Structures are given as structure tokens and as C-alpha cells.
Structure 1
């Protein structure tokens, strides 16, 4: 049976040196790789940011706090480098919530021995975490003064589709790469 690293070894909201280090490494990776995105052909500005898959991955593998930190800080740095400043702070919080929700989801799932099933569950869990976490951008209604329909059709759904594509494909891939390493280290 697999010793899937999602099994909680400490309290869910514990902060340790491991959490801090992996959170910082994840935020730095997300900030650098998050600058690379591509437009989905045939859409009107729906871009996929493949690095977004790092957010639920770090939430799954390193916990709620690390996942939140990766999403929040990584997205804030991307916005700063891109020239947006902290104008869209609520999107950074939403990215952080994706990592935190992923950490919560995977902390309470039992270990899965079958690798194919584990990867499917990882994809579904990352997608659910993305849908829940990104819903925080409903605050655009107050922050930007837009209506609910605009929030839903222009902000939320395109972001969910684009980020959903990234997490369903890449989060299980990252997890498949990490699993043998975690078994070797006992983490």
C-alpha cells in the first residue's frame, strides 16, 4: 500500500520550518513560472497559466499554510512584476485560498494505493479547490464595482476554465513526479 504523503503527520494548520521553506520555494517558483501564460486559440483573452498547478500541488503535499502562502505571495509577486501592483489583491487572496482548500481536501482523504486512482483524485481535488478558492473574486463586485453577471461571466468562469485546465493536467503530473521522492524521504 502507498504511503501517500497526504496523510497528516501534524495538525492541519501547524507551522513548521518545513512549511515555511516549502511555502517560500513554492511562492518563488510560482512567481517566476507564472509570468509565462498562453492564450487559448479561439477565445477572447482566456489565458492559461500552467504554473497555477503549483498552488494546489503545494497545498496537497505541504499543507494548508504552505498552499495559501504559495498562492497569495506568488500571485502578488506576479502582479507586481507585471505592473499591476496590488490593485487586484483579492485575486491574490483567491489564489491563496485555492492552495489552502487543496491542503484541507487532501489532508482528510485517506491514502490511496492505486496510482491511477490517486492521480484522478488529485485532479478532481485540485479542480474543486480551484472552483472554491477562486470564488473569492466575487469581491470584485465591491472592489471594482461590477455586477454579478459581469463577475460570473467575465471574471470567474474564464479564470476557472483556464486554471482548471492547468490543474487537471499538471497537478497530477507534478504529484506523480513527487510521489517516488516522498516515499524515499518518508514524507
Structure 2
């Protein structure tokens, strides 16, 4: 490891045509694939959504801005298509923060040569980003008028469990599929 390992290879806040294109493609993919989800019984509208793994993946591969855009816009479109409108705007922000945190986490990690280690680090980083980003749904206390216990047991806990399982399994799988393509293009 060299002295530059703790610094990102490019600006984490970079906005380029690549960021915009990949953010838009990711949001569209998340919005369409996110419709294939189901409600967890006994929770306050928490769903199992395997497509959520796209959010930290895009954050890792395309940066903070693209990751936030995929999570925020993708979730807002899903809510609009499912008929809840922008009632749960704070969940869209939380999804966006997951992508942004993933972008930040992976921007400061040094390149990892071993594929197995890279996939484990991807799973752990995606889970940490999910746990941090979803904390924003504590705003349900004010938005929906619930108490802290309800937030923890019916909102945050089930969302973290279902999304955590998705990102631990699917984000490394997506990354493993993407790695050969990124090596071919030199990115």
C-alpha cells in the first residue's frame, strides 16, 4: 500500500457525462426492477426489494453523485408507479444516501487485487452504506408521527434486514459481473 491509498483516484463529487448517464441508467433499472418486490407483513410498508442492490453497486462503481441519483430518483419513481406518490419522500432520500455512502466508502479504499477479498469487502461496504443511509428514515418520527420504538422495530430494522440481505448477496455478484468489463475499458 502506498501513501496515496487513502485518497480517491478522482474527485468523489465529480459530475461528468459518464456520471449523469450511468446515474440515469441506474435509476431507470432500479425503478423497473424495484417493482418486483413484496411487502413484509407486520411492518409499516417495508418491502423486500432485490433490486436495491443496484444502489450501492452504482455508488461503488460510478461515484457518490451517481449512487445518490440511482437511489433517490429510482425509489421516487417506484413510489410514484406504485401509487404512493411522494408521501414517503424521506425513504427516497435514505435510498439516495445509501448510494452516496457507498460511493464515499469505496472511493477511499485502495484497489484490491484478490477477487475473493474484493467481493467480501464489497459486501461489507454495501452493508455499512445501507445501515448508514437508512438511518435517515428516523425522520418517520416527524413525517408519520410514529415513536422511536416503532421506527426501530417496524421501519428501520426490517428494512435493514431485507435490504441488507439483498446487498450482501447481490451487490458483490453485480460487481463480479462488472469487473471484467471495467478492466476491458480501463475504468
TM-score (norm 1): 0.92
CA contact (8 A) 2:34 2:51 kept: yes
Deviation sequence 1:121-175 (CA, Å, 0-9, x none) = 0000000000000000000001111100000100000000000010000000000
Post-superposition offset of 1:37? 1.4
Kindly report structure 1 stretches of 4+ aligned residues shifted beyond 2 Å: 7-10, 43-47
Aligned residue pairs: how many?
Answer: 179
Q: Within 2, Cα distance between the matches of 1:30 and 1:114?
A: 29
Higher mean C-alpha deviation, range 44-53 or range 76-85:
44-53
Q: Measure, in 1, the Cα distance between the counterparts of 2:53 and 2:72.
A: 14
1:118–1:163 Cα change, 3 Å: same
How far apart, in 2, do the equivalents of 1:23 and 1:39 lie?
26
The equivalent of 1:172 in structure 2 is: 172
Where does residue 122 of structure 1 map in the other structure?
A: 122
Q: CA deviation at 1:47?
A: 3.5
2: distance between equivalents of 1:118 and 1:39?
32
- Taking the aligned partners of 2:53 and 2:37, their CA distance within structure 1 comes to 12
| Native 8 Å contact 1:48 1:165 kept in 2 | no
When the two chains are superposed, the root-mean-square deviation of aligned CA atoms in Å is: 1.4
Q: How many Å separate the matches in 2 of 1:86 and 1:48?
A: 19
**1:132 maps to which residue?**
132
Q: Superposition pairs for residues 46-57 of structure 1, below 5 Å?
A: 47-57=47-57
- 8 A Cα contact 2:95 2:134, kept in partner: yes
- CA drift of 1:8 comes to 4.1
Question: 1:78 aligned to 2:78?
Answer: yes
Q: Residue 87 of structure 1 aligns to a residue in which SS? A: coil
Equivalent residue number for residue 141 of structure 1 = 141
* Cross-structure match for 2:87: 87
Partner of 2:4: none
> In the aligned structure 1, how far is the partner of 2:42 from the partner of 2:154?
10
Secondary structure of 2:111's partner? coil
Equivalent residues in 2 for 1:56-67, closer than 5 Å: 56-67=56-67
Is there any run of 5+ residues in structure 1 with no aligned partner, and where?
1-6
The equivalent of 1:110 in structure 2 is: 110
CA contact (8 A) 2:42 2:154 kept: no
Unaligned runs of 5+ in 2: 1-6
